Amino acid sequence: MTQPLRTADIHMIQRLIPHRYPFLLVDRVREIDGYQTAVGVKNVTMNEPHFQGHFPAKPIMPGVTIIEAMAQTAAVMVGTALDMQDQNMMVYFMAIESCKFRRMVIPGDVLEMRMKTERGKPGAKVWKFSGIATVDDELACEASFTAMMDLGGATAG
């Protein structure tokens, strides 16, 4: 029997990861399937501070913030699966690989991040994820990355 998919609203996200405005880049995570897969959602608005300078006449979400939103989705997935709420979980990039940007992301878009764990298990500190970010089912970004997850004293795996 399979477990039901879990979700994380903004309140749960803030209990799982330390990011806050202006660097909290995921609004909701849905379809969390253990620590294997998850779908995150970022509602892109003109009110975000990076649009003041990137670019004033043509606001475009910076690619690094798209990758960060993908990483935050992965962190929420793992934190939810391992019941890490209120544990001060920290996540650090170690590598970003195979990253390609395919479409501009602009205010008004709904960015959907589909993340998959490639390597990692409960107790591991180093995890590898791959994923895509889309807008209206159109590919905006694809990337793989490795992250060190400080899971509140978990042992290395």
Q: Which of 8, 145, 135 is nearest to 77 (CA)?
A: 8
Looking up tokens 């019941």, which residue turns up? Answer: 83
Report how far Cα 102 is from the mean position of its chain's Cα atoms.
18
The tens place of each residue's pLDDT in the chain, 157 residues long, gives 567 789 999 999 999 999 999 999 999 999 999 999 999 999 999 999 999 999 989 999 999 999 999 999 999 999 999 999 999 999 999 999 999 999 999 999 999 999 999 999 998 999 999 999 999 999 999 999 999 998 764 433 3
Which of 11, 19, 50, 54 is the catalytic position? 54
The verdict on whether 19 is a catalytic residue reads: no
3-state secondary structure of 4: coil
From CA 129, how far away is CA 42, in angstroms rounded? 18
